[in-house]
Amino acid sequence: MNEAVPVKEGVALRPGPDGGLPAGHPAVAYGKIGVLIVNLGTPDGTDYWSMRRYLKEFLSDRRVIEVNRALWWFLLNVIILSRRPQAKGKDYETIWNKERNEGPLRTITRSQSDKLGERLGPLDDRLVFDWAMRYGNPSIASRIEALQSQGCERILLVPLYPQYAAATSATVCDAAFDQLKKMRWQPVLRVAPHWPDEPTYIEALANSITSELAKLDWEPELVLASFHGIPKEYFEKGDPYHCYCYKTVRLVREKLGWPEGKLRLTFQSRFGKAEWLQPYTDKTVEALAQSGVKRLAVITPGFVADCLETLEEIAGENAEIFHHNGGEKFHFIPCLNESEGGMKVLEAVIRRELKGWAELG
């Protein structure tokens, strides 16, 4: 760059007489700071091929499925992808955002990014907020490129998982670094850590439980905190996810001043025949109903946004299991989503992790 040319940070400089750069110089955009929030992913549609494409990308990730590659290639391509896309497409249809023609995870993640921009953008005009999906669209690669083309020399990557797991948080980093590998002018990347014990998060969960239960004309005998599971083998190999889930639940219970049995942790969303982390949510819901529990509420603290696993699996399937086995009242407490409490959590994490790049107070 020609040092004598006056330049303004964050502005794309172009070659030419008034562009700020000498003729022949490649265009330069610089000086901005990107904040890229990333959630798991969602299919582009509920039809067979959209579902298949999404599931194939997701289930081909070695962080998600650790079994032998040759065996998995056969199971995935010959068995799973012949039936699961259709079955899961039907499940997605029950929660699909018809107005926008997309899954709720995409709608909510976009809205979280927009709201972050409204809340934090005015504090520093170098900040650019964006969002991506680890599987499906918009991809992490495409958004890192877009941020760089807007002048982001630095990017804060925020995997939207309060509890770290290799199958979720780590794979977001894999995808981001895969993109960086391809770039000549790499942005500097910072990764926001998980936040299982972040005080605003614990407070938001406790407030959400209290305010949701206050809306009911009945009181649950207990509340289940249901987290997405992982195979037990991943835990045995050292994945810390299990401990983070327990920590979050203990802190929320302490915040509420509840005894141990009133807020119980369970794991949902098993996939395949191997053992996953226990106790299982569906089996617990069934056993509770069979043992005479009539009123139950469920919260899903590990999900930053409502999605198939919360709306269809918990609010749908598990409510049905409860009623089928003698339970009478079931209430699903929605995820924090883009609520004020939820936005305060994301804001707290981002403010902290931007320190040294942008002082937002």
In terms of Cα–Cα distance, which of 149, 121, 144 is closest to 10?
A: 149
3-state DSSP call for residue 268?
Answer: strand
Contact 156, 207 (CB under 8 A): no
Contact 220, 296 (CB under 8 A): yes
309 is in an annotated binding site: yes
Binds 167: which of Fe ion, ligand L6N33NVT, none (CB < 5-8 Å by kind): ligand L6N33NVT
**Could you say whether residue 300 binds ligand L6N33NVT (CB under 6 A)?**
no
- x-marked contacts with ligand L6N33NVT along 222-251 as a string, rule CB under 6 A: ------x-x----------x----------
Judged by CB under 5 A, the stretch of 75-83, 207-215, 243-251, 318-326 that binds Fe ion is 243-251
Binds 271: which of ligand L6N33NVT, Fe ion, none (CB < 5-8 Å by kind): ligand L6N33NVT
3-state DSSP call for residue 330?
Answer: strand
User: Which one, 88 or 242, has the nearer CB to Fe ion?
Assistant: 242
Q: Rounded CA gap, 110 and 97, in Å?
A: 13
User: Which one, 148 or 226, has the nearer CB to Fe ion?
Assistant: 226
**Could you say whether residue 309 binds ligand L6N33NVT (CB under 6 A)?**
yes
**Could you say whether residue 243 binds Fe ion (CB under 5 A)?**
yes
CB neighbour burial string for 194-210, b if at least 16 within 10 angstroms, e if fewer: bbbebebbbbbbbbbbe
CB of 145 to Fe ion, least distance (A): 27
**Could you say whether residue 216 binds Fe ion (CB under 5 A)?**
no
Bridging pattern class, strands 329-333 and 295-299: parallel
Binds 243: which of Fe ion, ligand L6N33NVT, none (CB < 5-8 Å by kind): Fe ion
Judged by CB under 6 A, the stretch of 54-62, 204-212, 213-221, 248-256 that binds ligand L6N33NVT is 54-62
CB of 196 to ligand L6N33NVT, least distance (A): 12
25 is in an annotated binding site: no
Per CB under 6 A, which of residues 87..106 are in contact with ligand L6N33NVT? 88, 103, 105
Q: Rounded CA gap, 335 and 306, in Å?
A: 6
What does the DSSP assignment read for 151-215? TEEEEEEEES-SS--IIIIIHHHHHHHHHHHT-SSPPEEEEPPP-TT-HHHHHHHHHHHHHHHHT
Contact 140, 36 (CB under 8 A): yes
In terms of Cα–Cα distance, which of 204, 294, 194 is closest to 256?
A: 204
3-state DSSP call for residue 334?
Answer: coil
Q: Rounded CA gap, 7 and 13, in Å?
A: 8
CB of 360 to Fe ion, least distance (A): 33
User: Which one, 197 or 340, has the nearer CB to Fe ion?
Assistant: 197
CB of 6 to ligand L6N33NVT, least distance (A): 48
Enumerate binding residues for Fe ion (CB under 5 A).
Answer: 242-243
Enumerate binding residues for ligand L6N33NVT (CB under 6 A).
Answer: 40, 42, 55, 58-59, 64-65, 84, 88, 103, 105, 161, 165, 167-168, 228, 230, 241, 269, 271, 302-303, 307-309
